[in-house]
């Protein structure tokens, strides 16, 4: 609460015109936020590259020339249109650095994006290599596992000979092997 009162008092003191606001040097005056300048430069550069801008500029030039050629009483820039050329030169003088600034910012964004892509690609490669190693180890482990046929043969071998179920399983396996041999036999 006391901090709020102090902040309000400081704000009121800043608004008083009879109090000196402090001196600012020229260097402090020129201390701009480069991101803000770059942001607005990009907006201007994007606008300068649109058909809307070209249409507006064309309309302004046609009106300018019409006023200076047709309406004699309103002439402010006679035929060589020196003022119009000056306006175009000034526009070009500001447009070129703004476009370059926008391109530099885009280049910086592209560099960051490339670094992120490289990091993502490296992570993807590491993940892929890990999964390949895991898959290879699973293949090796599966190769060492006992198969269903192996287990059933071992059970049949260990089962007593008078067991009917074992005899039926044995006949069924024998029939399957014969069927597979017939299917695999050359014609």
Mean residue pLDDT of the chain comes to 79
With 0.85 as the threshold, say if the pTM is over it: no
**CA atoms of 3 and 140, how far apart (whole Å):** 71
Residue 78, pLDDT score = 79
**CA atoms of 19 and 174, how far apart (whole Å):** 109
**CA atoms of 40 and 34, how far apart (whole Å):** 10
Question: Domain residues of the chain, as ranges?
Answer: 31-117, 146-187
pLDDT tens, 3-15? Answer: 666 656 555 555 5
The answer to whether 38 touches 101, Cβ cutoff 8 Å, is yes
**CA atoms of 108 and 42, how far apart (whole Å):** 13
Arithmetic mean of pLDDT, 116-133: 93
User: Residue 64 contacts by C-beta under 8 Å, 6 or more apart in sequence?
Assistant: 77, 81, 84
pLDDT tens, 126-156? Answer: 999 999 999 888 888 777 776 777 777 777 7
Angle at the Cα of 70 from the Cα atoms of 67 and 72, rounded to 5 degrees: 85
């Amino acid at each position: 609460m006391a901090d709020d009162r102090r902040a309000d008092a400081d704000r009121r003191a800043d608004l008083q015109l009879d109090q000196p606001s402090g001196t600012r040097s020229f260097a402090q005056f020129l201390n701009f936020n480069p991101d803000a300048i770059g942001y607005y430069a990009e907006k201007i550069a994007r606008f300068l590259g649109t058909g809307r801008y070209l249409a507006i500029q064309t309309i302004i030039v046609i009106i300018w020339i019409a006023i200076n050629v047709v309406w004699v009483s309103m002439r402010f820039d006679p035929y060589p249109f020196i003022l119009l050329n000056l306006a175009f030169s000034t526009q070009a003088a500001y447009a070129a650095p703004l476009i370059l600034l926008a391109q530099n910012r885009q280049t910086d964004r592209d560099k960051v994006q490339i670094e992120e892509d490289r990091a993502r690609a490296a992570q993807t490669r590491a993940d892929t290599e890990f999964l390949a190693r895991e898959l290879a180890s699973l293949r090796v482990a599966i190769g060492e596992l006992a198969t269903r046929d192996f287990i059933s043969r071992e059970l049949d071998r260990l089962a007593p000979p008078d067991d009917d179920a074992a005899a039926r399983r044995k006949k069924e396996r024998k029939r399957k092997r014969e069927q597979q041999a017939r299917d695999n036999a050359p014609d």
